[in-house]
Chains A and B, each alone.
Chain A
Amino acid sequence: MKILVCITHVPDTTSKIQFTDNNTKFDKSGVQFIIGPYDDYALARAVELKEQTGGSLTVLNVGEAETEPTIRKALAIGADDAIRVNAFPKDSLFVAKQIAHYAKEGGYDLILMGRESIDFNGGMVHGMVGELLGMPSISPVMKLDIEGSTAKMAREIEGGKEYLEVNLPFIAGCQEPIAEWKIPNMRGIMSARTKPLNVVEQVSDEAATGVVEFKLPPAKGEVKLIDKDNVEELVKLLKNEAKVL
């Protein structure tokens, strides 16, 4: 089975978010970048599936040269090779067009992505690629098993789960508990250095959206503390001041 996993290169979940250049650019100073947590789940499941069924596992990222350490980490976790589409990811449509092109070229049986990126939280790229390739796209997938040419999965819905079956090839946007995050071991890290990381060019320049300005939410005021022996006071405040009861 040929598996493709698409990964993002995003600020660590604990990062303080700030902007520069008159609020038009993300401020990278002091920020550590990681594989998107949902992409990391997709990758972990892909490594397990490859172990079970054999075949190959490729990771793909649309990004500039700075994303290579993140891609190397995915190689250390267990991908065989990597593709970097050398372009700034302008928007979801732009990214989807690149992925669709290289996914088609590679003829993958299974394309796994994260449920959403944690920078722009679109949750759209997998659906767009699915439509561009005429393949089913299922998201958010929390359990995925492959039996022959059939995939069986559970998809999270509001308040529960839905169980589905679909034939390969198809695309899934993954989330936990599909697999446990994998931490690269020493052997993985060593071998990742020599695994192929192919840099390819963008195939389309199309985008549909652009950010005009970034904004931060207004600062939160001080917390009002209420004595633990006077919880009635809290209920009063919620009713009369916040007016939420």
Chain B
Amino acid sequence: MSILVYIEQADGAIKKTSLEAVSFAKALADKEGGDVVAVALGTIDQGELAKTGSAGASKVLHVNDEKLNAGVIQAHAAAVAQAFEKVAAKTLILAKSSLGDAVAARLAIKLNAGLVSNVTDLPETGSGYKVKRSIYTGKAFAETELTTDNKILAVKKNAIDLKTDGADATVEDFDVNLDESVFAAKITSTDQATGDILLPEADIVVSGGRGMKGPENWNLIEDLAKELGAATGCSKPVSDIGWRPHHEHVGQTGVKVAPTLYVAVGISGAIQHLAGVNSSKYIVVINKDPEAPFFKAADYGIVGDAFEVLPKLTEAVKALK
């Protein structure tokens, strides 16, 4: 029996979170038996497709249709449903993302599958089928039972370590039949930061809040981020005032991040901000106010002025190399 994994790509590069989903599926297959088949949509070269093998897939179905390069939700759902049928899978694994969520929801209906999102651990299959997921924006967890034959799990970042030592995957071209109606929503253009590390996928995030005083000071955040190989984020007021773009806003109503290290500079630590970062492994807080609530959620803290601390910290990280 196969476990199918839906792979997302951007400009022909497979997303790291999708490879993590492959590793999650592989760990599940090792436990329950079966193999892992990935399905990748759009123009992707062989070298990229091979990465699914290292991550744990034994086969990858490649739907080489450039109309699928963009994330057209209905078209992707239709294509993945056909792959699910073809390999007679019972389980679909995917990485939680802006596109993944939208595609998974439609697939749940198409495949008559129970869907659990924000999955943080491998399922327990001893008696019944139970999955742990994060709820209340990271403030709690729910052991969730799935009662359907077909199952879809949308996996949260860092639910599992990425595997890189898998065997080669066979690449198989796979043709799908897509009705014109699945292209009803037309993507007219995209506007995407290129070359940057994407916030939801970053292992390290450096975020600035209102304590940074203005957009002209963001070079201090960016310098540290660059030294750390980190993505940059911000608090909600910072994106509301337009100091930073909306897609950098972290928290309850913004991006939920799950990096290994989150560095918060000049952010008070309001509960709505914490909701977006509480899945981080380690949190460093830099704030001039020792009473800032963020210190209660932090592993390491520096009480001090960001404008003094940041340049020194950037230097210290540089010196490490």
> Chain A interface (Cβ within 8 Å of chain B)?
11, 13-14, 17, 19, 37-38, 92-93, 96, 116, 118-128, 130-132, 136-140, 142, 155-167, 170, 173, 175-177, 207-217, 220-221, 223-228, 231-232, 234-235, 237-239, 242, 244-245
CA distance A46 to B99 in the complex (A): 24
Chain B residues 62 to 79 lying within 8 A of chain A, measured CB to CB, are 70-71, 73-74, 77
Q: How far is the CB of B282 from chain A (nearest CB, A)?
A: 5
Q: Given contact pairs A223-B299, A225-B300, enumerate 20 new A-B contacts (beta carbons under 8 Å).
A: A92-B105, A92-B115, A124-B104, A124-B105, A136-B185, A137-B73, A140-B98, A157-B71, A157-B99, A160-B191, A164-B186, A207-B147, A209-B146, A212-B145, A217-B140, A223-B301, A224-B300, A238-B282, A242-B281, A245-B320
Question: Taking chain A's interface residues, is the majority helix, strand, or loop, or is none over half, making it mixed?
Answer: mixed
B118 contacts A121, CB within 8 Å?
yes
| Size category, B interface | 35 or more
Q: Which 9 pairs between the two chains have the least Cβ-Cβ distance?
A: A127-B105, A228-B304, A160-B192, A208-B114, A131-B109, A124-B105, A166-B185, A123-B101, A131-B106
**Would you call B209 an interface residue if the criterion is a C-beta within 8 Å of the partner chain's C-beta atoms?**
no
B109 contacts A132, CB within 8 Å?
yes
- Show 7 residue pairs from A and B whose CB-CB distance is below 8 angstroms, ordered by the A residue: A11-B136, A123-B101, A209-B146, A211-B143, A212-B130, A214-B135, A224-B300
B136 contacts A119, CB within 8 Å?
yes
Q: How far is the CB of A210 from chain B (nearest CB, A)?
A: 5
CA distance A17 to B252 in the complex (A): 14
Q: Which residues of A sit under 8 angstroms from B316, Cβ to Cβ?
A: 231-232, 234-235
B199 contacts A159, CB within 8 Å?
yes
A220 contacts B102, CB within 8 Å?
no
Contact of A118 among B136, B189, B201 (CB under 8 A): B136
A231 contacts B198, CB within 8 Å?
no
Q: Which residues of B sit under 8 angstroms from A216, Cβ to Cβ?
A: 139-141
CA distance A167 to B184 in the complex (A): 8
Chain B residues 183 to 199 lying within 8 A of chain A, measured CB to CB, are 184-193, 196, 198-199
CA distance A13 to B305 in the complex (A): 29
Q: How far is the CB of A159 from chain B (nearest CB, A)?
A: 4
> Chain B interface (Cβ within 8 Å of chain A)?
10, 70-71, 73-74, 77, 97-99, 101-106, 108-110, 113-118, 130, 132, 134-148, 184-193, 196, 198-201, 204, 228, 240, 246-247, 252-253, 260-261, 271-272, 275, 278, 281-282, 284-285, 295-305, 308-309, 312-313, 316-317, 319-320
Nearest A residue to B261, CB-CB: A244
Q: Which residues of B sit under 8 angstroms from A235, Cβ to Cβ?
A: 313, 316-317, 319-320
Q: How far is the CB of B46 from chain A (nearest CB, A)?
A: 24
Nearest A residue to B314, CB-CB: A231
Contact of B144 among A13, A93, A211, A238 (CB under 8 A): A211
A160 contacts B190, CB within 8 Å?
yes
Known: A209-B116, A228-B308. A131 touches B110 (CB 8 A): yes
Contact of A244 among B103, B199, B200, B282 (CB under 8 A): B282
A165 contacts B190, CB within 8 Å?
no
Nearest B residue to A38, CB-CB: B253
CA distance A216 to B189 in the complex (A): 42
B253 contacts A37, CB within 8 Å?
yes
A159 contacts B196, CB within 8 Å?
yes
Q: Which residues of A sit under 8 angstroms from B140, Cβ to Cβ?
A: 17, 19, 214-217
Contact of A160 among B102, B247, B252, B275 (CB under 8 A): B247
Q: Which residues of B sit under 8 angstroms from A226, Cβ to Cβ?
A: 300-302
Q: How far is the CB of B310 from chain A (nearest CB, A)?
A: 9
Q: Which residues of B sit under 8 angstroms from A116, Cβ to Cβ?
A: 101
Q: How far is the CB of B22 from chain A (nearest CB, A)?
A: 18
Q: Which residues of A sit under 8 angstroms from B102, Cβ to Cβ?
A: 123, 127, 137-139, 173
